[in-house]
Amino acid sequence: MTFIAKWPLGIAIGLVISTTAVAKNPPNYTHYINPDAINYDLSSFSAEEQKFYDKVIYVSAPSGGKIPILAAPEVSKEQLLRSYNIMTFFLTNFDDLKYGTNRGATADQMVRTGAKLVMPDGEDGDSRVAEQDLTGQPLYQFEAPTAGSADYINNNYEHRDASYEEIFHLVHHNGFGQNSTLGVLSDTWGGVELKAAMESAIDKNLWQDGFWFGIELRQWLAEDAAEYEYFVSIMDACYGYWGEHLKTKVQCGGAHTNQRPVKT
């Protein structure tokens, strides 16, 4: 029987273990999504989406609704499955966290708001799918390296792993909510606490203009996207995805990690 270890960062590691050697349903493992869950019937999607994508997998919500993840032919099944795994990680209850319970309500909210992840070919600015043709939150082919690949192991910034960032954007915007979007945490973490933390970081010059590819904070503030970017900048720093840009150290969950977008 194959079990997948579900570690704190949501990275799945396959372990083939004899059913006679472990207890039934061991608590620290979860069954990984079966590749047979990938669906190649896109008849329920628009003609435009059928033009760019050839497969879909669904994340199920307690209400019975589904959150689709559409992928282009160039996107591998392994990339699609990893995206599914990361999204379900963000939608898994963690009872010891302040806002870690009832993530099912977050998934239901995502269904109500029409959340959709799309995985186009290529990369941002170099894809068959033009920006105006995007019908959901994008995660491009070349920004979703799979575990064990050279880009993943070497943390290749040319193909930086943006999977956690982009998928969390979708969960945040359509599920948790923030100051201007309704969600299950828009009255607490998303719309109050996170905004206050972001404003404090800006006031104290801890989060600065120009860190992200020269984009200025005022642009994100004008687009009402600053809270999203503030949180994922910290999350990506903690996960080590800014290790390419060694600047300072940040303490995250007991481990020092090289980081760039938020300085200490």
Give pLDDT tens digits for 216-243.
666 666 566 778 888 888 888 888 777 6
**Is the pLDDT at 3 greater than 60, yes or no?**
no
**Is the pLDDT at 2 greater than 80, yes or no?**
no
Predicted confidence at residue 15, as pLDDT, reads 32
Angle at 261 between CA 258 and CA 263, to 5 degrees: 70
Question: How far is residue 80 CA from its own chain's centroid?
Answer: 12
What separation in angstroms does the CA of 240 have from each of 97, 187, 220, 246? 22, 30, 23, 10
Q: Does an H or E element contain 58, and which? A: strand 55-60
Question: How far is residue 222 CA from its own chain's centroid?
Answer: 23
Quick check: pTM over 0.85? Answer: no
In the numeric block, the tokens 């589904």 are attached to 66
Taking the C-alpha atoms of residue 157 and residue 143, their distance in angstroms, rounded to an integer, is: 9
**Is the pLDDT at 161 greater than 50, yes or no?**
yes
Per-residue pLDDT, averaged over 63-82, amounts to 97
pLDDT level of residue 85 (50, 70, 90 thresholds): very high
pLDDT level of residue 19 (50, 70, 90 thresholds): very low
Task: Report helix, strand or coil for 1.
Answer: coil
Taking the C-alpha atoms of residue 197 and residue 234, their distance in angstroms, rounded to an integer, is: 12
Q: Does an H or E element contain 77, and which? A: helix 77-90
In the numeric block, the tokens 């995250």 are attached to 252
